[in-house]
Amino acid sequence: MSVELIVSQFSGDLFRGRRILVTGGAGFLGSWLCEALTILGANVSCLDNLSTSRVENIMHLKKYGNFKFIKADISEYHPEGFDFIVHGASLPSPDDYMRRPVDTMLPNSLGLLNCLEAARKGSIVLYTSTSEVYGDAEIIPTPEDYWGKVNPIGLRSCYDESKRFGEALCMAYYRQYGVDVRVARIFNSYGPRLDPESRYARVIPRFIMQALRNEPLTIHGDGMQTRSFTYVTDTVNALIKMLINDGVRGEVVNIGSQNEVKIIDLAKMIIRLTGSSSKIVFTEARPDDPRRRCPDISKARKLLNWEPKISLEDGLKYTIEWFRRQLNG
């Protein structure tokens, strides 16, 4: 369940000597991606302003000569000389982005612009978009050609509309300047290195920490809303496949699991797997919270020969063990 699960899927020489920038590289997905690409021999530059992440996520990579950390804000940074740019810098936690809407919109607009301008000299850009571009989707499982049902001025709009703008900007650079862009629409991913102590944690780290502390698990709304969770090694595997597969040039691809789960069932599962005595409590529903979320992944199957391999139960067990170790210092 570690980075080996990713690295073992790719041939040793694929990335040797290739220069790769990962923005948001100290974050959850970014740090796994940096680790896998570093082990695969790429010259990895991890750029992050550490606004939501912990430097511990990448400390262990500093021993590699082909790994470098750049502390910077991508909205004010102009990359140069990269073969690949993975743009992952963003604020993806709802509690976080609703509190800091401007900080959420800038990396997906100005920050992405800086990446795309640099790519006019020949880099491949992989943009990490989100299932949130579909808003409260009316078609489940949702295919890439569904246009979305999004409130453009609602509290979530700083995230979903900036990602929609980001996708449009990618396609504009692809059409006007021929920049090689690839867009991954990621559905909820989870695993070790999600911040265990964040006050603005996403649902899985929040539930796990509450369960491990035997505190009530707090559900926004009635818990009947659904999400589809993908273990991090599966997600990162798909992202690397998108980097090396020219069949996804100028394409948008859903990356997620088709195992749709009700949030209340997720809470019960985490209580069972942690052996916790926690109860479940219901709090006010979040504004514009999508009722259901589940991807159609036919396109990823066809173009990337990819589908998730780790079951929710196995992924959660591994994640819980990691969180337990964090809690025990």
Ligand X SMILES: NC(=O)c1ccc[n+]([C@@H]2O[C@H](COP(=O)([O-])OP(=O)(O)OC[C@H]3O[C@@H](n4cnc5c(N)ncnc54)[C@H](O)[C@@H]3O)[C@@H](O)[C@H]2O)c1
CB of 273 to ligand X, least distance (A): 20
Closer to ligand X at the Cβ: 195 or 223? 195
Task: Return d(Cα 247, Cα 1) in angstroms, integer.
Answer: 28
Closer to ligand X at the Cβ: 200 or 282? 200
Task: Return d(Cα 220, Cα 105) in angstroms, integer.
Answer: 24
| Helix (H) or strand (E) run with residue 59 in it | helix 56-59
Query: Cα(first)–Cα(last) distance of the chain, in Å?
Result: 21
Q: What tokens does 162 get?
A: 């900036």
CB of 141 to ligand X, least distance (A): 16
The answer to whether residue 159 is catalytic is yes
| Helix (H) or strand (E) run with residue 67 in it | strand 67-71
Nearest residue to ligand X by CB is: 27
| Site map 54..83 versus ligand X, x via CB under 6 A | -------------------xxx--------
Identity at 281, one-letter amino acid code: V
Asked whether position 237 contacts ligand X by CB under 6 A, the answer is: no
What are the φ and ψ backbone dihedral angles of 167, each rounded to 5 degrees? Answer: -60, -45
CB of 11 to ligand X, least distance (A): 26
Q: With contacts defined by CB under 6 A, name the span among 26-34, 35-43, 203-211, 246-254 that binds ligand X.
A: 26-34
What are the φ and ψ backbone dihedral angles of 260, each rounded to 5 degrees? Answer: -85, 125
Do 75 and 104 contact (CB within 8 A), yes or no? Answer: no
Check 77, 97, 127, 159 and give the catalytic one: 159
Asked whether position 157 contacts ligand X by CB under 6 A, the answer is: no
Binding site for ligand X (CB under 6 A): 23-24, 26-30, 48-53, 73-75, 88-92, 106-107, 111, 128, 130, 186, 188-189
Catalytic residues: 159
